[in-house]
Amino acid sequence: MDREFDVRRERFALNAPFRISRGVKTAAEVIVVQVAEGGQAGFGEAVPYARYGESLDSVEAELAAVADAVRAGATREEAQAALSPGAARNALDCALWDLAARRAGTEVSTLLGRDRLPVLETAVTVSLDAPAAMAAAARALAGAPLLKVKVAAEGVEARVAAVREAAAGARLIVDPNESWNLDLLAYLQPALQALGVELVEQPLPAGKDAGLQGLAPLVPICADESCHVAADLPRLAGLYQAVNIKLDKAGGLTAALDLYAAARAQGFRVMVGCMICSSLGIAPALHLARDADWVDLDGPIWLQADRPGGVRIENGRLFPPAAGFWGSPPPTR
């Protein structure tokens, strides 16, 4: 088969430091996969994540191991079987979806039996900082209907209260990024409820999930680091009320669609999230986000410059990318 396969690194500087409980990020470093066949090329982007033992080198090595199979015409299903869940599989899977749509002269939405993507409401992140700085960031986001507040184990109430005062009309998600313990989670429940927080995302370290057994939270709890693929869901039942689906964790749109269907069947609410990435990493996730309870796909707004034609975020409204960007052929002239 006359198929080309290319893997490259790209770096996007951030417009401000992005702080969470486990560190600070100043640039997004991504892996881009290109698969070309029959005069068309499909693209996929993924973010190697050190929290999951990934690096740019390790993701490139994973993709190099399947390069011959991809050039020989490996299908999405074969790629799913050949690679483990994670960034490498995500980049390849999304490139193959993009290629399929372009070769068919249609959109990924059509391949999935859906209408064109709608405009969505996305969370916009308030990075971890001093309460006054977080309040200023929240005021700068006036008009955004949903804010995600990054916190650590110290000063939670002060930080969330500062954001709430600065954005009285916004809905709030709180994300400790695994930095709390069970006692702190239980202690904070009344305060979080009083501040109008509607979701707490991954408060405990992944692997400490059993501590949630028997907790009747006043604010629903969402699994992020604890949930990667559909096989994770049975052990999360009764512990979490929602799961955060990210293509970089699941290993592509294919596995993420499976996770979404399984989560709904097992009674979980769903958030669709992202790493800090360009619009090329966001576009495939829109096909899940259209049906999610919470959308958290603001990664590109942290970049000094995104890819031309990508998604657009205005006052918390997420507009799909231009025709021809990802998952659709270019407009006809």
Residues marked active site are found at 150, 246
> At a CB cut-off of 8 Å and minimum separation 6, what does 141 contact?
124, 126, 147, 167, 170, 316
Going 317 to 12 to 51 to 262, the CA torsion angle's sign is positive
Burial code (b: 16+ CB inside 10 Å, e: under 16) for 162-199 equals bbbebbeebbbbbbbbbbbeeeebeebbeebeebebeb
Classify 50 as helix, strand or coil: helix
Sheet holding 294-295, edge to edge: 124-126, 146-150, 171-175, 197-201, 221-223, 242-245, 269-272, 294-295
The partner residues of 32 in beta bridges, in order of sequence, read 8, 45
Q: Which two tokens stand for residue 204?
A: 């405990």
Contact 100, 111 (CB under 8 A): yes
Angle at 115 (CA atoms; ends 117, 313), nearest 5 degrees:
10
Closest to 286 (Cα-Cα) out of 258, 321, 254, 314: 321
Residue with tokens 């190697």: 48
Looking at residue 16, its amino acid is A
Please state the φ and ψ torsions of residue 294, each to the nearest 5 degrees: -135, 140
